[in-house]
């Protein structure tokens, strides 16, 4: 095995190790050793240098993407402290709005806290994941992969509603909160709407962190540092994987086969991205996919970002894990992935 392949494997495997431990009860205890060992191995094999770590994101050309991702993670962590929100209508609509406005993971955690059954929690989480395809703040893949591609975002939004309809949580799945403040829902929707405007996403995230932090004052909710640390760890492992060269190899392969496959390329990209996201982490996979798009210079980015964003967003299991409903919801999740692959076929034909 060549040194290039060895370095790529050593830098990428920790992501899938992190994905494997995410299904266990001791995942928060395992993330530290996984990251530390991966960092030592990367430095030992010359993938990164200890003195270069602080400039690595800039050197990889991903500084702005990582800033957006860190702000998105902090925004979601703060939003999660808001507690119950006003229910403006059907449960599935609430899930879509929350998923689009604060992100699928905090939305799944908030909604599942009031679910009557594990099955109900799964349906609410997957409906929120569908909402993650409707707004820029719903999923990390939507946040960074669709930057500068508003047409792709509009073409993906209908799929989000379809996926939420498939989950179809109803009023029996959600316990109505007694002390929900409609102003908090208005704040969520306002921030999500502003973030969808090209060029305003960064400002919307900063404002959202401050506004939601103030809105959450005096409430019982608190920032869950374990979840925050997990997402930051996944982000750093993704940066190591990019430094190891995995995106370059993937981009080279895509340049060779995308045009040959024709319309088959889109559903395949959705399916492969979904599988890799499920096996690793959606946050990390968004960064890897962005690295691939940046390096596939001979391909039109428009043909890559939409199916990749859909695959990463739909394939991620984090909403089900946050809701504690992975066992109850994996079949419904699999159906959503299949529908997303079907969307890839339709999107390619159109």
Under 8 Å between Cβ of 242 and 60: yes
State the 10-residue block means of pLDDT for the chain, 350 residues long: 74 89 83 89 78 68 82 86 66 84 86 82 91 90 86 91 88 61 76 83 89 70 75 90 86 82 86 93 91 84 89 93 89 95 88
174 beta partners: 115
Check the CA dihedral 109-115-121-127 and report its sign.
negative
Assigned token pair, 237 = 């492992």
Q: Tokens representing 1?
A: 């095995």
- Both structure tokens of 323: 């809701």
pTM for the whole thing? 0.88
For residues 182 and 192, the answer to whether their CB atoms sit within 8 Å is no
Phi-psi region of 175 (alpha: psi -120 to 50; beta: other; left: phi over 0): beta
Closest among 242, 337, 287 to 139, alpha carbons compared: 287
Cα first-last separation, the chain = 42
- pLDDT score recorded for residue 220: 52
Which 3 state secondary structure label does DSSP give 85?
strand
Find all residues with CB under 8 Å of 143, minimum gap 6, and list them. Answer: 68, 69, 72, 136, 137, 201, 286
* Phi, psi of 85, rounded to the nearest 5 degrees: -120, 165
CB 131 within 8 A of CB 160: yes
CA distances (Å), 312 to each of 166, 237, 287, in order?
18, 16, 10
161, 167, 173: which is closest to 111 by C-alpha?
A: 173
Integer CA distances (angstroms), 67 to 8, 232, 241, 315, 331, in order: 24, 11, 18, 23, 35
Find all residues with CB under 8 Å of 343, minimum gap 6, and list them. Answer: 159, 162, 270, 310
Distance CA 275, CA 252 (A): 20
Do 287 and 62 form a contact (C-beta atoms < 8 A)?
Answer: yes
Task: Take residue 282 and report the two structure tokens written for it.
Answer: 């959606």
Per-residue exposure over 162-197, b if at least 16 CB sit within 10 Å of its own CB, e if not: bbbebbebeeebbeeeeebbeebbebbbebbbbbbe
H/E stretch holding 243: helix 225-244
Q: Which residue has the tokens 């869950």?
A: 224
Tokens of 318: 């984090």
């Amino acid at each position: 095995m060549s040194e290039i392949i060895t370095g790529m494997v050593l830098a990428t495997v920790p992501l899938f190790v992190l994905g494997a431990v995410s299904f266990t009860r001791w995942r928060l205890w395992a993330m530290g050793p996984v990251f530390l060992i991966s960092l030592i191995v990367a430095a030992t094999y010359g993938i990164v240098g200890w003195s270069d770590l602080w400039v690595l994101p800039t050197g990889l050309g991903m500084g702005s993407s990582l800033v957006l991702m860190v702000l998105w993670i902090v925004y979601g962590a703060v939003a999660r402290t808001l507690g119950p929100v006003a229910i403006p209508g059907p449960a599935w609509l609430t899930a879509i709005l929350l998923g689009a406005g604060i992100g699928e993971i905090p939305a799944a955690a908030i909604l599942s806290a009031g679910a009557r059954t594990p099955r109900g929690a799964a349906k609410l989480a997957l409906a929120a994941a569908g909402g993650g395809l409707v707004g820029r703040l719903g999923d990390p893949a939507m946040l960074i992969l669709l930057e500068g591609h508003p047409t792709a975002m509009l073409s993906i939004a209908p799929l989000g509603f379809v996926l939420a309809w498939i989950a179809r949580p109803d009023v029996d799945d959600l316990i109505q909160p007694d002390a929900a403040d409609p102003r908090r829902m208005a704040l969520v929707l306002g921030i999500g709407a502003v973030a969808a405007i090209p060029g305003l996403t960064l400002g919307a995230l900063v404002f959202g962190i401050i506004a939601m932090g103030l809105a959450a004052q005096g409430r019982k909710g608190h920032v869950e540092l374990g979840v925050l640390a997990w997402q930051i760890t996944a982000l750093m492992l993704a940066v190591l994987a990019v430094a190891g060269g995995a995106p370059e190899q993937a981009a080279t392969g895509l340049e060779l086969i995308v045009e040959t496959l024709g319309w088959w390329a889109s559903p395949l990209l959705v399916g492969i991205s979904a599988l890799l996201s499920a096996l690793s982490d959606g946050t990390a996979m968004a960064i890897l996919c962005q690295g691939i798009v940046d390096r596939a210079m001979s391909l039109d980015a428009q043909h890559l970002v939409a199916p990749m964003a859909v695959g990463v967003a739909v394939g991620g299991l984090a909403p089900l894990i946050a809701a504690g409903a992975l066992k109850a919801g994996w079949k419904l999740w699999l159906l959503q992935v299949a529908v997303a692959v079907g969307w890839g076929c339709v999107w390619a034909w159109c």
